[in-house]
Structure 1
Amino acid sequence: MTTADTDPFAAESAARLIRAEQNGLRLAIACRTLVTGLAFAWYVGAPILFDGFEPRLAAVLVLLLFTAVGVAHLAVIGTRFDRSWMKYAVYALDTLSICATFALIPISRADDVPQIIAFRAYGIYYLFPLVAIACLSLSWRLVLWTGELCVAGWWAAFGWVITGMQTYLSWADIPANATRADYERVFLSIDFVGRGNRIEETAMLMFGAMILAVAVYRARGVFFAQVASDLAERRERDARQKVSALFGKYVPAEIAQRLIANDGPMRPQRTAGTALVMDIAGFTAFSAQNAPEHVICVLDAFLSDATDAVSKHGGIVMSYLGDGFLVTFNAPIGIPNPEQAAMQAACALLGIGQGHGFDIRVGIASGDLVTGTIGSSERQSFTVYGDAVNLAARLEGQCKILGVSVLVDAATQAAVTDIELEACGAQNIAGLASQVPVYCLSGEG
C-alpha cells in the first residue's frame, strides 16, 4: 500500500500533479495539431496563391494523417485509454517525419540538383518548434527525448543524403590560405554539404533542449513546492479545526480558537463584565432517587440547552460546576451591555429549566473580571477571577435562603432597563464584611 492510498492529502497532491501534466500535454498537442492543420490548409490552398504549384498527393495525405493523429491523441489524454508512451510516440513521429522530409522529398524536379540543397535552403530551425512545444507538456523527459530525436534524425537524414552523392565538398576542401576564388569554388558549389555546419546546428539545438529541460524541471519543482505548501496549509488548518472542536468541548470554544490561533497562552486580561452562576435546586435529591446513568443523561441534555441559551446572549461558559455552570459576559470576548445580556440569559435559563423539569437558581454580579490561563508548562487551564465571580456564586446560594430564582447585585440592577427588578434589601453575604443590597425579579421578593 502506497502513501497515496493511506494519506488523502498525498493522493490529492498526486492527482493535482497528474491533472497539471495532462493539461500541459493537451496544450502541447493542441499547438502541434494546430500547426499541422494550418500546414495542411496552406499546402492544399497553395495553388490559389501560386500559379503552377501542384500539391503532391503523398504530402497531402501525410499532413492529413499528422493532423488526425493529433486530434486522436487529444481525445484520449486523461482517459482510460491514455498511455504514458503515446506522447513520446507522437513526438517521435513528428520529429522523424520532418527529418525524413529533408532526406526523401526532392528539393527540385531536376535530376541534377542534389538533395543537400534542402539542408542549406531551409535548415534545422524547422525542428526547434517541436522542442519548444514539448515544454508545454511540463515533462522535462519529453523535452530531452524530442531534442535527442531531432539531433539523431537530422544526422540520419544528412548521412542518407550525402551517401547518395557521388562527390561532395566540405569546409575541409578549402585550402589554408584560401582566396576569394577558393571560397566561391567550395562554399558556393551546389555540392557543398557543410558537415561542420551540421555539427554546430545540432549542438546548439541539443544545448537549447537541455536548457529548456532544466527550465521545465525547475518549473515542476516550483509547482510541486506550491502544491506541498497548499496541502501543508490545509493539513494544519484541518488539524487546528479538529483540535479546536475537541478542545472546545472542555474549554469555551471561543477561547480554544484563540489559544490555537495564537500558539501560546493567553495573557491575563482585565475587563468590566458580568458573571452568572447557575445551579439546579434539589438536584441532590433528584440524584439520589434516580440511576446514575439517567441522572447524567438528563443533566447533559439540560446543560446542552442551557449552554446554547447563554451563548445566544453572548455569554461564555467558563466552567461547569457539578449541576450548574459559571458564565461570563464581556470577558474575555467583548459584547455590549453585558449586564443586560446576563439578565436576558437568566430569564431564558428559567424557561429551559422548567422545560426539563428543574427549578434553577441564578446569581448575577457585575464588576472587574480577570481572565487568563493558569497552570504549568505541561498542563494549563483557562479561568476567570474577580470579586464579581465570588459575589455571583454567593448570590446563587442566597437564592435558596430568600426563596427566589434570581438574585443580582446593585451594579447589574442599575444597568438593566428592560427587565423589572425589585429590591430584596441589604443581605449578609458569606465571606463579605458588610451587607450587600440585592435585587430579584419583580414579584418574587
Structure 2
Amino acid sequence: MAGSPTQKGVLMQETVAAKADQAAIFHDAEQTGLRLAIKGRLVALILMGGWLVVTRASDPLRAIEYLLVLGVLAGFGIVHYKIIGTSRDRSWVKYLFVALDIAFLSLLIATQPVFDTVDLPQAVIFRTPIFPFYFIILGVAAFSFSPGLVLWAGACGVAGWLGAFAFAIRGMEQTFDWKDIGTMPDTQTFVTYFFSPNFVGTWSRLQEALALGVVAILIGLVMWRARYTVRRQIEAEQERRTISDIFGQYVPAAVAEVLISKRGTLAPVEREATILFADLADFTKLTETIGPKGIVEVLNAYFDAVSLIITRHHGVITQFQGDAILATFNVPAEDPDHAGCGVRAAREIADLVQSRNFAGIALRTRIGICTGTVIAGSVGGGGRQNYTVHGATVNLAARLEEMNKELGTDVLIAATTTKHLSGYNFKQIGQMDVRGLAEPIDLYTFGRDASADSDANRSAPAGSAASVS
C-alpha cells in the first residue's frame, strides 16, 4: 500500500538529509587531504631548495633563480592552504591552483634554458628529467580524494607538457625526429640524429603525455571506486541508524542493535540477570481522577525520566505493562555489575519520584529487585515477535514490588541481589514467605539515610564498593 503524502515527505526529507551528510563527509575529506598534500608539497619544496643551493654553490645566481621559482610554487600552496575552509573557498578554487602549478611549471619549461652559458635550442630541455614533476602535481591532487580534481590535473598536465613543447620548437628552422632515424638505423645515423640539438622527439613527448593521462585516469578510477565504497558504507550505516532509531521506539535500543546485527532474531539464552520491576501506587485511582488524556501525559513524562535512568545504568526495558516497567540487567547485553546497576537504578528512580512531579502530578513508585537465572529471547507468532524474559526470578521481582504495599516500603531487594554487593549497606526487613516459593527469603530495602548515600552510589563506577544504607 502506498504511503501517505506526509510519510513520503518525511522519507524525501530524510533522503535529502542523508545525501547532504554524504556530501559533507566527502567535502571534509577533500579539504583534509588537500591540507595534508599542501604541507607535504611545502616540505618537498624546502628540501628541493636546499639541494639546489648545495649543488649550485658555484653558480649563486642560478641557485637564487631556482629558489625564486620554488618560492613562487610554495606561495601558491600557502595561499591555497589559507583559503581552504574559509568563506572565500569555492568548488573551483582547488582546480584553479592545480592549473596555476602546471601553468607555471610549463612556462618555465618552455622559456628557461638548461644552461645560460650554452646556446642550445629550448627543445633540449625536454631531454632532462623534468617531466616527473607533473606526476608530483598529480600526486598532490590525489590527496583530495576527488576523481574530478585528479582528472583535471591529468588534463592540465597533458596540455601543459605538449603546449610547452610546441612553444619550445616553434621557431626552430630545422628539426629532427624519430622518422629521420628510421626503424633500423646504424650506429652513426642514430648518434648523428639523436644527439643533435635539433632532435625534438615528438612521438616521445606524445608518449609521455599519454602516460600522464592514463595514470590520471587510473588514479581517478581508483578514487571513484573508493568514494563509491565509502558511500555505500555511509548509506548502510545511515540505514542501520535509521532502522535502529525507528525500531528503538518499540523495543529497547540495546535489543534493537542486537536484532539488527542478528537479522531479526535473538536466540534464547539462559543467564543470571538482575530484574527490576517498578509500578505506580494508586494508579487506578489516578486514572479516574485525571482522565485518559491526563494519564497518558503523566505516564509519558514518568516513562521518559525512568527510561533515562535505567539506560544510564546499563539496563534494558523489555516491557511497559500499563503503568509498570520491567527492566533487565545482564541480558541481552552482558554486564558483570548487573546487580549493582539494578540497585543504583532503583535508588535513583525512587529519589526522582520523591523529588518531582510528572505533568503536574505527584507519583509514588514501588520497586522490586531480584537476581537469578532467567531465560531471555525472542518469542511470538503470526509474524510478530517480542523480546522478553521468563523464569522464577522475574516472577519474584514482580511479587516483591507488590509486597512493598504490605510492608510500607518503596523498594524491596531480594537477598539473591544483595549477596553480589559487598560493601553496600542495606536495611534488612526480615525473612518473608513469598507466594510460589517453598522457603522464605531474606528481604532488604534502603535505610532512612539512603538519599544521602545515593549520590555517591550514582557517581561510583560499576563494581565499586559504594555505600547504600
The Cα RMSD (Å) is 5.1
Alignment CA distance shift 1:396-1:436 (3 Å): farther
Task: Confirm or deny that 1:162 pairs with 2:174.
Answer: yes
Following TM superposition, the consecutive aligned residue runs of length 4 or more in structure 1 with deviations greater than 6 angstroms are 25-45, 59-65, 170-174, 186-189, 413-417
1:324 Cα deviation from its structure 2 partner: 1.7
- Equivalent residue for 2:440? 437
Equivalent residues of 2:378, 2:388 under 8 A apart: yes
Structure with larger Rg:
1
1:306 Cα deviation from its structure 2 partner: 3.5
Aligned mates of 1:86, 1:339 — CA distance in 2? 63
- Equivalent residue for 2:316? 316
Counterpart mapping for 1:84-163 below 5 A: 84=95, 88=99, 91-92=102-103, 94-95=105-106, 98-100=109-111, 107=118, 124-125=127-128, 127-138=130-141, 139-157=153-171, 160-162=172-174
Aligned mates of 1:443, 1:63 — CA distance in 2? 82
Determine which of 405, 424, 427 is the counterpart of 1:420. 427
Number of residue pairs the alignment of both structures matches: 404
Equivalent residues of 2:414, 2:444 under 8 A apart: no
Aligned mates of 2:138, 2:433 — CA distance in 1? 87
1:282 Cα deviation from its structure 2 partner: 1.0
Q: Percent of aligned pairs with the same residue?
A: 22
Determine which of 387, 393, 418 is the counterpart of 2:398. 393
* Deviations 1:5-26 (CA, angstroms, capped at 9, x unpaired): 9623224424644664687588
TM-score scaled by length of structure 1? 0.67
Equivalent residues of 2:310, 2:345 under 8 A apart: yes
* Deviations 1:67-124 (CA, angstroms, capped at 9, x unpaired): 7864664465364595846754664565455445569x8945xxxxxx66x767x763
Greater shift in the superposed pair: 133-142 or 30-39: 30-39
Aligned mates of 2:421, 2:56 — CA distance in 1? 91
Counterpart mapping for 1:5-154 below 5 A: 7-14=20-27, 16-17=29-30, 20=33, 46=59, 70=73, 73-74=76-77, 76-77=79-80, 79=83, 80=88, 82=93, 84=95, 88=99, 91-92=102-103, 94-95=105-106, 98-100=109-111, 107=118, 124-125=127-128, 127-138=130-141, 139-154=153-168
Greater shift in the superposed pair: 406-415 or 347-356: 406-415
- Equivalent residue for 1:214? 214
- Equivalent residue for 1:300? 300
- SS of 1:382's partner is strand
- SS of 2:173's partner is helix
Letter in 2 for 1:9: Q
For structure 1, the 5+ residue unaligned runs are 49-54, 109-114
Aligned mates of 1:362, 1:369 — CA distance in 2? 19
Counterpart mapping for 1:285-434 below 5 A: 285-311=285-311, 314-336=314-336, 338=338, 342=342, 345-355=345-355, 356=357, 357-375=362-380, 379-400=384-405, 405-406=410-411, 411=416, 418-423=425-430, 425-427=432-434, 429=435, 432=436
Letter in 2 for 1:156: R
Greater shift in the superposed pair: 284-293 or 368-377: 368-377
- SS of 2:22's partner is helix
Alignment CA distance shift 1:4-1:34 (3 Å): farther
TM-score scaled by length of structure 2? 0.64
Equivalent residues of 2:414, 2:442 under 8 A apart: yes
Alignment CA distance shift 1:90-1:33 (3 Å): farther
